[in-house]
Structure 1
């Protein structure tokens, strides 16, 4: 993919080839120049869409009416293609639809670069893209489906009228939503059974001599298998090309950032300073802290110490809920001196890092509280650590015991553990929120520990809470990808100042050198 200060329009032939149909297999990469700003904007908006698809896929039955309505609304809001016209020729030259399809095409390839880097990222990306493809294919007009199949060389043998008459009863009895009246009036495709294992497994098709007879409305299963296979191979090839991409100093920080991106509310701007007292923290930790922060608070109270990873994760969370620098100093000092750290040692070894969190030392970067994605994907806790996500990093049996201690019902624990088993860690935390607040639907998509706190306070106080203003501009984990790029280079040039990424030993060495 090329980049430049100005975008050039694709010529008419390429435009017709790429965007002449509302759906594509993304076989041809983009060939135009785009700016870095457009690069980031497209990527973040597609990431928002894919995360919505993930949440809806667990909260609702896929392809149900409620699922489709919510997904259509999100696709429309983010200005991606949806609900194509029956006669697509009327709109394929229209600038609005062209821009939607162009954005869909380019954003897919950008996220390919970001999500090809590990097996977990590839698996997540494929699943969400397949779900999005299924929704779009199912909403195509029948003539558009046939056009798509022909365009992509998906030519399957159509069952003859004579064979349909012979197999009529078997097709009716084995095919979902097919009656004797409609057998003659619709196409059936004869496909090798290994290409339709999902349909065979659910007994939705007639199987004979190694072939399955698929009614036209179920052909989506075959198309999805093809799409999944193509995308999986494409991601493997993209991963092989990453060294060349990473040699571009503009792209590497952007792509690394996207794979860990947080695309929700900004909690770095403190608007609630002074509204939380230190005396309230114990009770708030039980009522309104997510499990990760409740775990850190409990460990701090018991051991009077947290290692670096825990201090950063919990300290920035407390900053986000409204603790001032002075309160933070008092909180950490009072707790540490109860353990093996006297006041003098605290001032020499720990006070600097607390001021650093608030942007008062070093690069004077005002650090942002960690999002769920950062907590889940950052360095995993080792022995003696208490940071991280309990749903991601805890042994399932230990997690079960902890939930029992916190009086979560047995059925609720089963639901949470099932989500954890499916690697839906944020959704498991959201289920924990619903169970501990006695609500059936939280009506928000959890993506940040501070969001958990804000929503909890809203519910517990009947809406009259300290919830921060919702007109705060949204952003990624850094102020922008460009800023993230600068921060990355600064950290590389002077790693001793980036305390967020330093170990305890490195920090001790830093203070000794200072």
Structure 2
């Protein structure tokens, strides 16, 4: 894969010039060839990093020590650059630092291609990149910060000791929590008034003769404003050129699915296959199903039918929690026959698609259950549909009523609705998990409905293997909460899977309403 661009003339070592600092504003696109494997891996790793940034930003104070510690650990584990003084790449010992900076640079531009496609995606990408940049910039030493400003032509001059002394009283009065001693120790930057409007608006800086006197600790605000402006314009430009990039048949599938790709455990590998009975499903739906699957199950029991979007989302979820093909055929047949579908129509219109879902027809692909991002971002429900994410696709008042019917406390409902308001839908679902399981911290980042089920069963069963109950030949419709469900635990593990397989081929078999 070639990233186009012109090399600067007169630069003997473009790599040293480009990666001379551990942090950059990503103004120059990559200039090298990379393989598709590396393309995918870089994109997946940066998605993991940005997802961690989002989760920590909601659950922790962004300036707290715990936030910094956890984010630093994630940056290090994914092999991205962070808090280093290395500036050249002559010695072999720093080759690994060069690779980290190269990965950081290329992965940012790959995700620009994936996240420039809609306004929602652009907004999410900008917010997470801004938070990541803020953390990395704040962790730089004063010398590295000055070097960064110089390299990016952000020439904000520091005021002299004499000028600082002459303005001492005004700087103390205008800078929050500053004393004379701290002012003497701090560098102050003389910044054009228009570049510091946020700080001026909050009355955090002294203004004189068209310049704002910004303390060293607040210069990040100026840099972030500049970065946001650059990134917003860059994403708009990238969106215009996207059709040209998508014409490449190698990249089009990757870019189309990167924005809602799932990179965790593969739930198409059914380690617990056949470990639950059909009679357990009603009980499990109230105990261990995430709200998206709980509402699909209830809609199916009430109307004895689901439209194709709901059948795909719920059918693959049931497959992922352990239903065998025979169980799935029995489950869907029993329910549909109680509705307006006769046995002959079920066999002709629906049975084939269920076998196809299990890899027994067509391309014989073992299809993967939907991840949270796929549920949230693809195929939004229309009138008469019950699929999708309740936190993303439900009216807030209806969502509130639904949560009340699930016996969630008013305080818990308010916490969930605040997360929904901030568009943190997966975190809202995670908070629902904590409230319904009476725990303070789930201890995991929720990314998949089947992960929700596995983690729930792990808590409810204490990690014990279950003894599968025999399926009854009669229609399984036990009263909710009448059985104690036990399913074997699965420990979610981070993996380097590429984005989940395109589902279009399967979609074509679910068009019958």
Would the TM-score normalized by the shorter structure come out above 0.5? yes
Farther-moved stretch of structure 1 (31-40 vs 168-177): 168-177
Secondary structure of 2:13's aligned partner? helix
Structure 1 residues 215, 126: CA separation in 2 closer, same or farther (over 3 Å shift)? same
Q: CA deviation at 1:208?
A: 5.0
Partners in 2 of 1:225 and 1:501 — Cα distance? Answer: 46
Secondary structure of 1:329's aligned partner? helix
* 1:325–1:355 CA contact under 8 A, matched in 2: yes
Matches within 5 A, 1:170-249: 170-207=170-207, 211-249=211-249
What residue in structure 1 maps to residue 282 of structure 2? 282
What residue in structure 2 maps to residue 52 of structure 1? 52
Q: CA deviation at 1:416?
A: 0.8
Farther-moved stretch of structure 1 (293-302 vs 241-250): 241-250
Secondary structure of 1:241's aligned partner? helix
What residue in structure 1 maps to residue 327 of structure 2? 327
Q: What's the Cα RMSD here?
A: 2.1
Matches within 5 A, 1:283-362: 283-362=283-362
Q: CA deviation at 1:501?
A: 5.0
Partners in 1 of 2:193 and 2:57 — Cα distance? Answer: 27
Q: CA deviation at 1:499?
A: 3.2
Farther-moved stretch of structure 1 (50-59 vs 155-164): 155-164
Q: 1:499 and 2:501 equivalent?
A: no
Partners in 1 of 2:449 and 2:326 — Cα distance? Answer: 22
Q: CA deviation at 1:170?
A: 2.9
Farther-moved stretch of structure 1 (465-474 vs 11-20): 465-474
What residue in structure 1 maps to residue 476 of structure 2? none
What residue in structure 1 maps to residue 391 of structure 2? 391
Partners in 2 of 1:101 and 1:295 — Cα distance? Answer: 45
Structure 1 residues 81, 315: CA separation in 2 closer, same or farther (over 3 Å shift)? same
What residue in structure 2 maps to residue 411 of structure 1? 411
Partners in 2 of 1:92 and 1:443 — Cα distance? Answer: 41
Structure 1 residues 27, 477: CA separation in 2 closer, same or farther (over 3 Å shift)? closer
Partners in 2 of 1:476 and 1:71 — Cα distance? Answer: 23
1:301-330 CA distance string (max 9 Å, x none) = 111110000000000000000000001111
* 2:44–2:496 CA contact under 8 A, matched in 1: no
Partners in 1 of 2:52 and 2:508 — Cα distance? Answer: 30
Structure 1 residues 388, 91: CA separation in 2 closer, same or farther (over 3 Å shift)? farther
Partners in 1 of 2:374 and 2:403 — Cα distance? Answer: 23
What residue in structure 2 maps to residue 263 of structure 1? 263
1:204-259 CA distance string (max 9 Å, x none) = 33345664321112101101111111111111111111111111111111111211
* 1:417–1:428 CA contact under 8 A, matched in 2: yes
Structure 1 residues 455, 92: CA separation in 2 closer, same or farther (over 3 Å shift)? farther
Specify every segment of 5 or more residues in structure 1 that has no aligned partner in the other structure, as ranges.
5-10, 479-483, 492-497, 509-514
* 1:21–1:148 CA contact under 8 A, matched in 2: yes
* 2:264–2:494 CA contact under 8 A, matched in 1: no
Structure 1 residues 157, 95: CA separation in 2 closer, same or farther (over 3 Å shift)? closer
Secondary structure of 2:388's aligned partner? coil
* 1:21–1:92 CA contact under 8 A, matched in 2: no
Farther-moved stretch of structure 1 (349-358 vs 149-158): 149-158
Farther-moved stretch of structure 1 (343-352 vs 46-55): 343-352
TM-score by length of 2: 0.90
Partners in 1 of 2:229 and 2:508 — Cα distance? Answer: 38
Structure 1 residues 362, 19: CA separation in 2 closer, same or farther (over 3 Å shift)? same
Q: CA deviation at 1:443?
A: 0.8
* 1:245–1:251 CA contact under 8 A, matched in 2: yes
Secondary structure of 2:189's aligned partner? strand
Partners in 1 of 2:145 and 2:330 — Cα distance? Answer: 65
Q: CA deviation at 1:446?
A: 0.3
What residue in structure 2 maps to residue 364 of structure 1? 364
Partners in 1 of 2:286 and 2:396 — Cα distance? Answer: 21
TM-score by length of 1: 0.90
What residue in structure 2 maps to residue 374 of structure 1? 374
Partners in 1 of 2:447 and 2:47 — Cα distance? Answer: 13
Aligned residues: 484
Structure 1 residues 472, 442: CA separation in 2 closer, same or farther (over 3 Å shift)? closer
1:57-85 CA distance string (max 9 Å, x none) = 11101021000000010011001111213
Partners in 2 of 1:150 and 1:191 — Cα distance? Answer: 14
* 1:116–1:236 CA contact under 8 A, matched in 2: yes
Partners in 1 of 2:371 and 2:31 — Cα distance? Answer: 34
Structure 1 residues 266, 303: CA separation in 2 closer, same or farther (over 3 Å shift)? same
User: Which of 468, 488, 493 matches 1:466?
Assistant: 488
Partners in 2 of 1:288 and 1:369 — Cα distance? Answer: 16
Partners in 2 of 1:243 and 1:476 — Cα distance? Answer: 23
Partners in 2 of 1:502 and 1:241 — Cα distance? Answer: 34
What residue in structure 1 maps to residue 443 of structure 2? 443
Partners in 1 of 2:173 and 2:90 — Cα distance? Answer: 41
1:3-28 CA distance string (max 9 Å, x none) = 79xxxxxx961011111111111111
